[in-house]
Amino acid sequence: MKVTELFGSNVFTDDVMKNALPREVYKSLRKTIDEGQPLDSSIAGAVANAMKDWAVSKGATHYTHWFQPLTNLTAEKHDSFIEPSGDKVIMQLTGKNLIVGEPDASSFPSGGTRETSAARGYTAWDPTSPAFVKEGTLYIPTVFVSYTGETLDKKAPLLKSMTAIDLQAKRLLKLFGITCRKVSTTVGPEQEYFLVDEDVYTRRKDLMLTGRTLFGAPPARGQELDDHYFASLKPRISAFMRDLDETLWSYGIFAKTKHNEAAPAQHELAPVFTTTNVAVDDNQLTMELMKKVAQKHHMVCLLHEKPFEGVNGSGKHNNWSLSTDTGLNLLDPGENPEKNTLFMLVLACTIAAVDRYQGILRGCVASAGNDHRLGANEAPPAIISVYLGDQLGAIVDSIVLGREYVPKKAIPGSIGVPESPIFPIDTTDRNRTSPFAFTGNKFEFRMMGSQASVADPNIVLNTIVAESFSAAVDALGGAQDFEKACAAYTNKLLKEHYRIIFNYNGYGPDWEAEAERRGLLNNKTTADAVPEFFRRENIDVFVRQGVYTEKEVVARADIMLENYVKTINIEALTMLEMGRQDIYPAVNGYIAEICSVIAAKRAVSEKFACAADTALAEQLSLMNEALMQALKKLEKDLREMPAGVGPASQKMAHVIVPDMEAVRTVADGMEQLCSSDYWPYPTYEDLLYSIR
Ligand code: ADP
Ligand code: MG
């Protein structure tokens, strides 16, 4: 099939919808999708029927309300279309079936917003994200709410945050005399992942149970040669990527760029950006399909933030911008940003929001997995700062420090090869070390972990920027001289929030101390980052923008902490099992062999040199003893867990994680000394280099 035909072939697209629906029904539905108008329930029956007919023509027998509970995964429960009709069946999807579903919600995390006995939860159709057919089932994207109206998923608050920013951005634009129907935020999430061979994977208990290696000595060859990044693709990888692209395209996902990443066995996929909620759905589907397609190719796709120590971890870059339905990108600086009052105001509002709410922006991407990444060398530090680049940096400096600003034109460049064409060189270079970087006409938030839902940071970003816009409108509405008032307000914001701007190396050794002097937060662990959600001003911003109730904010933060505690608990238990049941006996086996070699040598002649054997046996024996001690300490600390997620998460972060590091250090040391015949697990070499 041609790519152009393949693309979206499994999706109930706008074209399909237009052809299948009566004109009035289609028009009414489009109003809901484009303008956020409430759905006219009288059209639901017609839409449901058209959707069902189309799905059946694609081989579907079932439908499911597809939703995003407070895990990072999606959930689905399948019902068939069949309805008895005499002694036969007909295929049916009613309007009600399309609009609401009622899965038993009691087993999904709710953070105490709902008693288990009052388990009712409803899924409600989200018409703004297209339905699709996958593996014989019609997938209907939905939001998930409780009987009492609390949201139980990531999509409902995301949609609310999109409404909030739409509303406030339109108010702001109105001050400039610009009217439009809708302002949408757009997102393009770049997804990093690892691929490992299935046979090797299944021999690693830690990877199977926790998604990351808990043990593993560094390989002789890591990523120091920088030879994997953008390297040509190995045939198995290339076949996988091709298969994945085609699969994603069939679901209407704009998979665009694919390449090898910095670490061995690490890769990246970037889609073309789209409206935020669609980008979120697409990313969930992408992660799921990456795993499934990998399986077809006898590989396993690892989405964990830090599957391997000592080489780069995986993140997800959240490229974020906002545009009107008329095509105006509010973050487009244009030729002369310094004279573009609208852009400068939007920029200042965004900077102010990021500074004011840095705690929750950091907090929303906190997880046990991401803790290994933030602050390590490949990821931005746990400190939030904004990178503006040379041009905008100079403009902001000129405003705040009173320096003169000399506009820098995009210089026509050439790469110095006479035959190569002349092209304009960008006015700003890239800065890979910044957690929140301006990149041309969007901001790139780089702190997200690879397996997290894209909804998390966008709920926060939309909410806090909406809040900034709303404050700006309140301050500027009714100003006598709008241009003047606007410039003054922009300058005031930039001055007040100048501390968050950092245009230099975020990996540099001085940055931490400098950030502390500036009063910026540096919450390195989930246990320390998530409680930011409990602060009054942070709860208030969600409530004011209509995104969460106070109860919902607290519930979600509690779930994050609970999840953190549970994840580390599983890791610690896995470590105890592997250490005691596999590593300790394996090393003893090897020691016994060395001892029998010593005995055998001595039996032949006392003159045999055994010093190296004895020393090795002795060293391994001492280390194995130390391993048991370290495991014992870990077990004891784990047993004495304080009550409550707050104290428990603190103990995990500051006692259990260091305990686990101590266990690992001894074990990895032994791996380097132990015969590979005895070591019970595939090594990092096996994991990182076995795919050809
Ligand atoms: P890189 O970060 O590797 O340099 P690009 O700058 O080309 O890559 O784009 C990265 C991602 O940003 C892509 O997924 C792209 O679709 C997305 N992107 C580009 N423009 C926008 C926008 N206006 N809003 C949101 N995302 C965007
Ligand atoms: Mg990027």
**pLDDT at 533 (0 to 100):** 98
Condensed to tens digits (0 to 9), the pLDDT of residues 526-550 reads: 999 999 999 999 999 999 999 999 9
Who's near 157: CB < 8 A, 6+ residues apart?
Answer: 151, 455, 459, 547, 548, 552
Residue 427: pLDDT over 70: no
DSSP secondary structure of 103-166: -B-TTS--TTSS-TTS-BEEEEE-TTS--EEETTEEEEEEEEEETTS-B-BSHHHHHHHHHHHH
Q: How far is the CA of 273 from the centre of ligand 1 (A)?
A: 6
If phi over 0 gives left and psi between -120 and 50 gives alpha, with beta otherwise, what is residue 433? Answer: alpha
- Average of per-residue pLDDT values in the chain: 92
Who's near 295: CB < 8 A, 6+ residues apart?
Answer: 198
* Interatomic CA distance for residues 453 and 622, integer angstroms: 45
Q: How far is the CA of 190 from the centre of ligand 2 (A)?
A: 6
Indicate which atom in ligand 1 lies nearest the CA of residue 321.
24
Residue 272, ligand 1, Cβ within 6 A:
yes
Condensed to tens digits (0 to 9), the pLDDT of residues 77-111 reads: 899 999 999 999 999 999 999 998 887 767 777 77
Q: How far is the CA of 418 from the centre of ligand 1 (A)?
A: 31
Cα angle 536, 158, 74 (rounded to 5 degrees) comes to 115
* Interatomic CA distance for residues 624 and 618, integer angstroms: 10
With tokens 């409108």, the residue in question is 473
Who's near 596: CB < 8 A, 6+ residues apart?
Answer: none
**pLDDT at 678 (0 to 100):** 98
Indicate which atom in ligand 1 lies nearest the CA of residue 329.
23
**pLDDT at 415 (0 to 100):** 55
For the chain, percent of residues with pLDDT exceeding 70: 95
Residue 117: pLDDT over 90: no
Residue 680: pLDDT over 80: yes
In the three-class reduction of DSSP (H, G, I as helix; E, B as strand; rest coil), residue 183 is classed as strand
DSSP secondary structure of 367-382: -HHHHTTTTSTTS--S
Most trustworthy range by pLDDT among 251-260, 372-381, 677-686 = 677-686
**What is the pLDDT averaged over residues 134-149?**
91
Residue 186, ligand 1, Cβ within 6 A:
yes
**What is the pLDDT averaged over residues 237-244?**
94
Q: Which domains does the chain have, with CATH numbers?
A: 3-153 (3.10.20.70), 165-187+316-409+433-518 (no CATH), 191-314 (3.30.590.10), 564-689 (1.20.120.1560)
Residue nearest to atom 19 of ligand 1 (CA): 273
Q: How far is the CA of 319 from the centre of ligand 1 (A)?
A: 6
Give the pair of three-digit tokens for residue 21: 């629906």
Indicate which atom in ligand 1 lies nearest the CA of residue 441.
23
* Interatomic CA distance for residues 444 and 484, integer angstroms: 30
Residue 271, ligand 1, Cβ within 6 A:
yes
Condensed to tens digits (0 to 9), the pLDDT of residues 46-65 reads: 999 999 999 999 999 999 99
Q: Which ligand is nearest to the CA of 187?
A: 1
Indicate which atom in ligand 1 lies nearest the CA of residue 320.
25
* Interatomic CA distance for residues 327 and 210, integer angstroms: 44
Condensed to tens digits (0 to 9), the pLDDT of residues 30-42 reads: 988 887 788 888 8
Who's near 208: CB < 8 A, 6+ residues apart?
Answer: 201, 202
In the three-class reduction of DSSP (H, G, I as helix; E, B as strand; rest coil), residue 541 is classed as helix
Residue 276, ligand 1, Cβ within 6 A:
no
**pLDDT at 51 (0 to 100):** 96
Residue 263, ligand 1, Cβ within 6 A:
no
Residue 273, ligand 1, Cβ within 6 A:
yes
* Interatomic CA distance for residues 654 and 629, integer angstroms: 19
Helices assigned H by DSSP within 336-479: 341-356, 358-363, 368-371, 389-401, 455-476
For residue 407, how many other CB atoms are within 10 A of its CB?
13
Condensed to tens digits (0 to 9), the pLDDT of residues 429-469 reads: 566 778 999 999 999 999 999 999 999 999 999 999 999 99
Condensed to tens digits (0 to 9), the pLDDT of residues 560-571 reads: 999 999 999 999
Residue 69, ligand 1, Cβ within 6 A:
no
Residue 188, ligand 1, Cβ within 6 A:
yes
Q: Answer yes or no: are the C-beta atoms of 35 and 325 closer than 8 Å.
A: no
Q: How far is the CA of 477 from the centre of ligand 2 (A)?
A: 37
Q: How far is the CA of 317 from the centre of ligand 2 (A)?
A: 5
